[in-house]
Amino acid sequence: MSAPIDPAKLEKLAEVAIKIGLQLQKGQDLVITSPVAALPLVRLLTKHAYVAGAGLVTTFYSDEESTLARYRHGSDESFDRAAGWLYEGMAKAYAQGAARLAIAGDNPMLLASEDPAKVSRANRANSAAYKPALEKISNFDINWNIISYPNPSWAKLVFPDMPEDEAVAKLADAIFAASRVDVADPVEAWRQHNANLARRSLWLNERRFSALHFTGPGTDLTVGLADGHEWHGGAAMANNGVVCNPNIPTEEVFTTPHALKVEGHVSSTKPLSHQGSLIDGIRVRFEGGRIIEAHAARGEAVLNKVLDTDEGARRLGEVALVPHSSPISASGVLFYNTLFDENASCHIALGQCYSKCFVNGASLSPEEIKAQGGNSSLIHIDWMIGSGETDIDGLDAAGNRVPVMRKGEWA
Ligand code: ZN
Ligand code: ZN
């Protein structure tokens, strides 16, 4: 069998992840999580990590067949449990200074035919157990990065009409293009891209909008912004002082909405793949920041279970702007993977906010963040609401309107 994935580009992805994504520091430990299929990428990452002076590199692997075995043969009680000891260990590693690298690539539809009640119980148990480790990441205490690998099962979902080899090669190329590693000097390309995103964030921060008004087919939504919110995009400094690029790819500038000040209705513009299920054609209505009505053409039961996770699951924790002409959107590929699809479109996220999206966010207590309108929840789920027909106005405190986007592009 010929190797369908270009080894030179895979090596560049590994190099960009370590140098730009993580800016891994000399002597810093690294925790990697990866599907077993991505072993070739893990080996390259491990090499580049040690070349960069890593302390210890430790990888935890997951496997689709083993996950399915649990759903098919695991005892009913086991679905309320999670490997808390593992997450406690990860939280400890991060507290002691380790960086974190996640490789995404599992089949997003893996659990689509499993019992939704079990899926939701397992997700809930996992979210609760993962919280101490996840907080180090959502609080941006450490440098972290997520990249992707074209698992064959994912590739077959994205390109169902192709033989597996061709589908993997095509998804690999799409990942390399979106991750900006298919150019001569990817590290320099990322420097320029980061400078562009920083310019957009600066413009939005200078405007000090109090709300954004989204209009488009099936959408008339006013998203109030949190008091003292701050826009971010591209590279950013973690609380440990390391400037990193958490998401590769990334095209978004994003901030924190006000948990109590979202009004109107909004429709999704792309399917949302959520932990093995597909939710499509979402239509929700907000009142006082809370979703009071939720429908989906597909996956409505999963959506409603997600919304019932906790009180904060019905409120927004993120609003993000992405031009419709972004390379991922222009590729026309639906990845069924939030890391890519959220970067093809303006989006909002249900659940937990990012404390870094506040002025002096790192020094604010959870109570202060809440008082400024920041939401808290066990979940953070992005879904896409932008298209080539989306218009966005910024509203300032005096009620003046400033065009921000027209027909999906920066105004
Ligand atoms: Zn986002
Ligand atoms: Zn998000």
Distance CA 341, CA 272 (A): 8
- Identify whether residues 238 and 92 lie together within a single domain: no
Each of the 411 residues of the chain gets a pLDDT tens digit; together they read 445 899 999 999 999 999 999 999 999 999 999 999 999 999 999 999 999 999 999 999 999 999 999 999 999 999 999 999 999 999 999 999 999 999 999 898 899 889 989 998 999 999 999 999 998 998 889 999 999 999 999 999 999 999 999 999 999 999 999 999 999 999 999 999 999 999 999 999 999 999 999 999 999 999 999 999 999 999 999 999 999 999 999 999 999 999 999 999 999 999 898 877 889 999 999 999 999 999 999 999 999 999 999 999 999 999 999 999 888 988 888 898 888 988 999 999 999 999 889 999 888 999 999 999 999 999 999 999 999 999 999 999 898 999 999 999 999
Which CATH number belongs to the domain containing residue 173 in this structure? 3.40.1830.10
Q: Is residue 189 part of a domain?
A: no
Q: What are phi and psi of 157, to 5 degrees?
A: -75, -40
- Identify whether residues 206 and 127 lie together within a single domain: no
Distance CA 356, CA 140 (A): 7
SS3 content of the chain, % helix, strand, coil (to 5): 40, 25, 35
What is the whole-number distance in angstroms between the Cα of residue 52 and the centre of ligand 1? Answer: 29
Contacts (Cβ under 8 Å, ≥6 apart) of 43: none
- Identify whether residues 45 and 149 lie together within a single domain: yes
Look at residues 126, 145, 178 and tell me which one is the last residue of a structural domain: 178
Closest CA to 229 of 385, 76, 394, 93: 394
- Identify whether residues 145 and 282 lie together within a single domain: no
Q: Is residue 333 part of a domain?
A: yes
What is the whole-number distance in angstroms between the Cα of residue 349 and the centre of ligand 2? Answer: 5
Task: Report CA-CA distances (Å) from 277 to 5, 76, 103, 164, 304.
Answer: 27, 20, 19, 22, 13
What is the whole-number distance in angstroms between the Cα of residue 72 and the centre of ligand 1? Answer: 34
The pLDDT assigned to 327 comes to 85
Ligand nearest to the CA of 343: 1
What is the whole-number distance in angstroms between the Cα of residue 69 and the centre of ligand 2? Answer: 30
Ligand nearest to the CA of 349: 2
- Identify whether residues 24 and 170 lie together within a single domain: yes
- Identify whether residues 168 and 244 lie together within a single domain: no
Look at residues 112, 144, 178 and tell me which one is the last residue of a structural domain: 178
Q: Is residue 1 part of a domain?
A: no
- Identify whether residues 174 and 201 lie together within a single domain: no
The number of CA neighbours under 13 Å toward the Cβ of 26 is 0
Give me 173's structure tokens.
């190329």
The number of CA neighbours under 13 Å toward the Cβ of 120 is 14
The pLDDT assigned to 1 comes to 46
- Entry pTM: 0.85
Report how many domains make up the chain. 2
Q: Is residue 2 part of a domain?
A: no
What is the whole-number distance in angstroms between the Cα of residue 253 and the centre of ligand 2? Answer: 11
Look at residues 143, 178, 213 and tell me which one is the last residue of a structural domain: 178
Q: What are phi and psi of 118, to 5 degrees?
A: -65, -45
Instruction: Tell me the residue range of the domain where 59 lies.
Output: 7-178
What is the whole-number distance in angstroms between the Cα of residue 384 and the centre of ligand 1? Answer: 9
Contact between 321 and 253 (Cβ < 8 Å): yes
What is the whole-number distance in angstroms between the Cα of residue 281 and the centre of ligand 2? Answer: 19
What is the whole-number distance in angstroms between the Cα of residue 160 and the centre of ligand 1? Answer: 27
Q: Is residue 398 part of a domain?
A: yes
What is the whole-number distance in angstroms between the Cα of residue 350 and the centre of ligand 1? Answer: 11
What is the whole-number distance in angstroms between the Cα of residue 354 and the centre of ligand 2? Answer: 9
What is the whole-number distance in angstroms between the Cα of residue 8 and the centre of ligand 2? Answer: 30
- Identify whether residues 115 and 163 lie together within a single domain: yes
Distance CA 316, CA 380 (A): 9
Q: Is residue 39 part of a domain?
A: yes
- Identify the three-state secondary structure at position 295: strand
What is the whole-number distance in angstroms between the Cα of residue 380 and the centre of ligand 2? Answer: 6
Strands 409-410 and 316-321: unpaired
What is the whole-number distance in angstroms between the Cα of residue 155 and the centre of ligand 1? Answer: 23
Label residues 103-130 b or e (16+ Cβ within 10 Å = b): bbbbbbbbbbebebebbbbbbbbbbbbb
- Identify whether residues 361 and 404 lie together within a single domain: yes
What is the whole-number distance in angstroms between the Cα of residue 285 and the centre of ligand 2? Answer: 20
Q: Is residue 157 part of a domain?
A: yes
- Identify whether residues 155 and 207 lie together within a single domain: no
What is the whole-number distance in angstroms between the Cα of residue 224 and the centre of ligand 2? Answer: 17
- Identify whether residues 243 and 284 lie together within a single domain: yes
The pLDDT assigned to 103 comes to 97
Contact between 25 and 242 (Cβ < 8 Å): yes
Using the Cα atoms of residue 58, residue 40, residue 153 and residue 247 in order, give the sign of their dihedral: positive
Contact between 358 and 226 (Cβ < 8 Å): yes
What is the whole-number distance in angstroms between the Cα of residue 19 and the centre of ligand 1? Answer: 22
- Identify whether residues 170 and 216 lie together within a single domain: no
The pLDDT assigned to 347 comes to 97
What is the whole-number distance in angstroms between the Cα of residue 90 and the centre of ligand 1? Answer: 24
Which amino acid is it at 346? C
What is the whole-number distance in angstroms between the Cα of residue 350 and the centre of ligand 2? Answer: 8
Q: Is residue 379 part of a domain?
A: yes
Closest CA to 358 of 350, 367, 349: 367
